[in-house]
Amino acid sequence: MGQNKFPKPIKKASLNNNLSHRSYASKIASPPKYILRAEDLSVGFSGKTVLNKINMDVAEYAVTAIMGPSGCGKSTFIRAINRMHDLDDKATVSGKLYLRKDDLFAASAMEVRRRVGMVFQKPNPFPSMTVAENVLAGYTLNGISLKRHEKEQLVEENLQKAALWSEMKDRLHDRGNFLSGGQQQRLCIARSLAIKVEILLLDEPTSALDPLATLKIENLIQKLKKEITILMVTHNTGQASRISDYTAFIYLGELIEYNKTKKIFTVPKDKRTERYLSGKFG
Amino acid sequence: MKEQGLGRPRDIRSLAGYGNIARRQFKNRLFTGLCLFLSILVVIPLATILVVVIKKGGLNVLSAGFFTEITPVPNAAFGTGGIANSLVGTMLLCVLGSLLAVPLGIAAGLYMAFSKRKKFCDSLYFFCNTLQSVPAIVTGIFVYTVLVKPFGSFSLFSAAIAFALVMFPIIALATAEIVKLCPLAIIEASYALGASFYKTIVKVVLPYSAAGIVNGFIVALARSAGEGAFLLFTAFGNPFISYSLWQPTSALPLTIFQFAISPYENWQEIAWGASFVLMALVLLVNIVSKLIYRKKF
Ligand SMILES: Nc1ncnc2c1ncn2[C@@H]1O[C@H](COP(=O)(O)OP(=O)(O)OP(=O)(O)O)[C@@H](O)[C@H]1O
Ligand SMILES: [Mg+2]
């Protein structure tokens, strides 16, 4: 089967098992079972710090929302997780990131990106590929050849997971960029799911979509969290409160508050969180 | 908001009766007419060339052996002999020149578009631009000096090198320009799936830019195949069909040049016929490239 063909991640650095030693900012709650941990993660562009010492654990099989005003560094944060900043010479990244026990900065970027999926704000299916080819793109692009029945199975399975199968089963050989925006975005999700990523990063996945398409994606995210961890950036506080289990609030590159979504929305500890949620800025 | 005198939009109602409509329409017509006149002025020479070439050369092509027979002896009867040797030469040049120029041109174009070594890229860009504007005859002399003289013989090989030198910068610059249009979003999508730079180029960027690159290739091919100047110093000409890399060879533009200035009337006829064939080929290639381009964009 396809999922066995990826090389096993090499365990380069293992995390100190005794987690209680870590000094947390008192207001940051650590979820009981986490899959991703950021330690003093900082990102700058040409010397200007954009993200300042983020410490955060992301819960496994849950939806974590990242909120904050425009330009506060949300995208910068999640792009650090799948090493997108490697592509930018101006970007400097420091601190630590662990996925399960693996140091993400010690592994190769390609290896990290095979385990950490990313869906972008603007749907970006590959225009030269069909719907089916888009779903299988992760395999093609990694030079993994599949048998015909493996392909068929992967396409159906992942389009099902992305709630796209019924709409797409007769259009598998259409070009991916002729779909509607919402369909394209779900196709991009299917593409990431197909390579069995462990955590899916979503950067404002619904901001380019209409309410109905947004609703479909929100339902999809709710369903997906049973088998995958989801970390999503959203501008929409309503969306965060509807679908996320944990919410992080970032302001000017700092993680201001991170807690169960219910707590954040009912009893925010920080003034700035409260003001953001009540629509005073951002 | 504070009102600013200059930037304030004029009241729409006041625009309705603004200026003399009849005069403005007259000026407009005058300008359109001028454009049309100048366009026709440009088309006249082109049309004349077409008509003359078709009239003088079109008939020759119809003669039985024009495509299959080689150069006739001087003063032979009209309708005997043909351009088979030049056609073979031009085809060989196209194939060999493309084999050299296409991979190198695409590679250089990709390099210019994606490399982070900006200084080197700028030099490469400058080099390609310069090479593109070097007159083909200078390319011919250059290849003559470094390849023909040392080897002691005109040859298909040296001609193919010169041919590729004309094609290379066109392909490289076209590739660089077209590949830069590939949206960052799909390049990032590819990396985000764990793809390497190489796979991203081969599976995402090149398919996206394929039509544009093919178009660049065809333009380069048409330009190089229609060029005669460098052939004088490299291919030299050959009255017989030659497949050897190391022998002189004939080619269409060369035949046209050499036969048109010859004193033999039957050769001059052949030159007209060859002109017709060459023009038809270049036109065909251009139309194909336009079709490919339109299909994609
Ligand atoms: N590639 C880059 N080069 C230079 N500066 C950058 C780059 N990417 C982001 N920045 C800067 O980093 C800051 C944070 O950007 P980021 O995209 O993370 O914000 P964001 O929280 O995602 O905002 P939005 O909600 O508008 O998407 C901004 O001030 C931005 O100008
Ligand atoms: Mg953003």
pLDDT band at A6 (very low <50, low <70, confident <90, very high): very low
Q: Which residue has the higher pLDDT, B60 or B50?
A: B50
- Is A84 within 8 Å of B189 when comparing Cβ atoms? no
Residue whose CA is at the smallest distance from ligand 1 atom 2: A45
Cross-chain residue pair A126–B189, CB shorter than 8 Å = yes
Taking each helix axis from N to C end, the angle separating B265-296 and B21-62, rounded to the nearest 10 degrees, works out to 130
Please give the DSSP secondary-structure letter assigned to residue B262.
Answer: S
Calpha distance B279→B82 (Å, rounded): 17
Nearest to A114 among B116, B190, B194 (CB): B194
Residue A84, chain B, CB below 8 Å: the answer is yes
For B8, list phi and psi in degrees, rounded to 5: -70, 130
- What is the distance in angstroms between the Cα of B111 and the nearest Cα belonging to chain A? 16
Q: How many CA atoms lie within 13 A of B53 on its CB side?
A: 16
Whether A50 is in the pocket of ligand 1, judged by its Cβ within 6 Å, is yes
Do A122 and B196 count as a contact with CB atoms less than 8 A apart? no
Do B192 and A118 count as a contact with CB atoms less than 8 A apart? yes
Q: Whose CA is closest to atom 26 on ligand 1?
A: A70
Let me know: does B286 contact B225? Beta carbons within 8 Å. no
- Rounded to the nearest angstrom, the minimum Cα separation between A265 and chain B is 32
Q: SS3 for B249?
A: strand
- Note whether A188 contacts B: Cβ–Cβ < 8 A: yes
A69 CA to centre of ligand 2 in angstroms? 10
Asked if B193 and A137 come within 8 Å (Cβ–Cβ), the reply is yes
What is the share, in percent, of chain B residues with pLDDT greater than 70? 92
pLDDT value for B82: 87
Instruction: Answer for the pair A192, A118: CB distance below 8 angstroms, yes or no.
Output: yes
Residue B10 has pLDDT above 60, yes or no: no
- Please write the tens of the pLDDT for every residue from B129-159: 999 999 999 999 999 999 999 988 999 999 9
What is the mean pLDDT of the segment spanning B207-234?
91
- Burial label for B282, CB within 10 Å (0-12, 13-18, 19+), is middle
pLDDT in tens, B77-108: 877 888 999 999 999 999 999 999 999 999 99
Show residues of chain A in contact with B210, CB under 8 Å.
128
CA distances from B157 to A27, B25, B146 (A): 76, 61, 12
| B196 to A110: CB separation less than 8 angstroms, yes or no | yes
Does any ligand 1 atom lie closer than 6 A to the CB of residue A75? yes
Non-local CB neighbours of B163 within 8 Å, separated by 6+ positions? B93, B94, B96, B97, B101, B224, B230
Give pLDDT tens digits for B244-290: 899 999 999 999 999 999 999 889 888 999 999 998 888 888 888 88
Q: For residue A246, what are its two tokens?
A: 């944990």
For residue A14, the model assigns a pLDDT of: 35
How far is Cα B111 from Cα A20, in angstroms, rounded to an integer? Answer: 50
pLDDT at B22: 85
Total-model pTM: 0.81
Mean pLDDT over the full length of chain B: 88
Tens-digit pLDDT profile for residues A249-272:
999 999 999 999 999 999 888 889
Amino acid at site A111: E
A122 lines ligand 1 (CB under 6 A): no
Count of alpha carbons within 13 angstroms of residue A18, beta-carbon side: 1
C-beta atoms surrounding A125 within 10 Å: 27
How many A from CA of B188 to the centre of ligand 1?
Answer: 16
Q: How far is CA A45 from CA A66, A108, B117, in A?
A: 21, 21, 19
Averaged pLDDT for residues A187-208: 93
Give me ligand 1 centre to Cα A76, in Å. 6
Chain-centroid distance of CA B34 in Å reads: 30
What is the per-residue pLDDT for A31? 67
What's the gap in Å between the CA of B297 and the closest CA on chain A? 12
Confidence bin at A84 (pLDDT 50/70/90): very high
> CA of B108 to nearest chain A CA: how many angstroms apart?
21
Inter-chain residue contact B190 with A137, CB threshold 8 Å = yes
Overall average pLDDT of the A70-85 stretch = 94
The CATH classification number of A29-121+198-277 equals: 3.40.50.300
Contact status of A113 with chain B (Cβ, < 8 Å): yes
* Alpha carbons B11 and A281: distance in angstroms, whole number: 37
Is residue A82 within 8 angstroms of chain B, CB to CB? yes
Q: Which residues contact B6 (CB under 8 A, 6 or more apart)?
A: none
Task: Name the pLDDT band for B190 (thresholds 50, 70, 90).
Answer: very high
**Distance in angstroms (rounded) separating the CA atoms of residues B215 and B224:** 14
A140 close to B (CB below 8 A): yes
For ligand 1, what atom is nearest to the CA of residue A73?
Answer: 18
* Confidence tier at B15 by pLDDT (50, 70, 90): low
Using the Cβ of A97 and the Cβ atoms of chain B, whether some distance falls under 8 Å is answered with: no
> How many CA atoms does the CB half-sphere of B218 hold within 13 Å?
19
pLDDT tens profile A9-44: 433 333 333 333 344 443 345 667 889 999 999 999
DSSP B8: P
pLDDT at B295: 63
Give CA angle at B173 (B169, B176), nearest 5°. 140
Residue of A nearest to B202 (CA): A141
- Pocket of ligand 1 contains residue A66 by CB under 6 Å: no
Which stretches within chain B are classed as H helix? 12-16, 21-62, 84-114, 118-133, 136-143, 149-151, 156-180, 184-192, 197-199, 206-225, 229-234, 252-260, 265-296
Task: Give the B-side interface with A, CB within 8 Å.
Answer: 116, 183, 185-186, 188-196, 199-200, 203-204, 207-208, 210
- With a CB cutoff of 8 Å and minimum separation 6, the contacts of B119 are none
Residues with CB under 5 A from ligand 2 (ion): A 75
The full length of chain B comes to 297
Rounded alpha-carbon distances, angstroms, from residue B110 to A13, A98, B283: 37, 35, 29
Whether ligand 1 lies within 6 angstroms of the CB of A248 is answered as no
A84 with B186: Cβ contact below 8 A: no
> For ligand 1, is residue A73 a contact (CB within 6 Å)?
yes
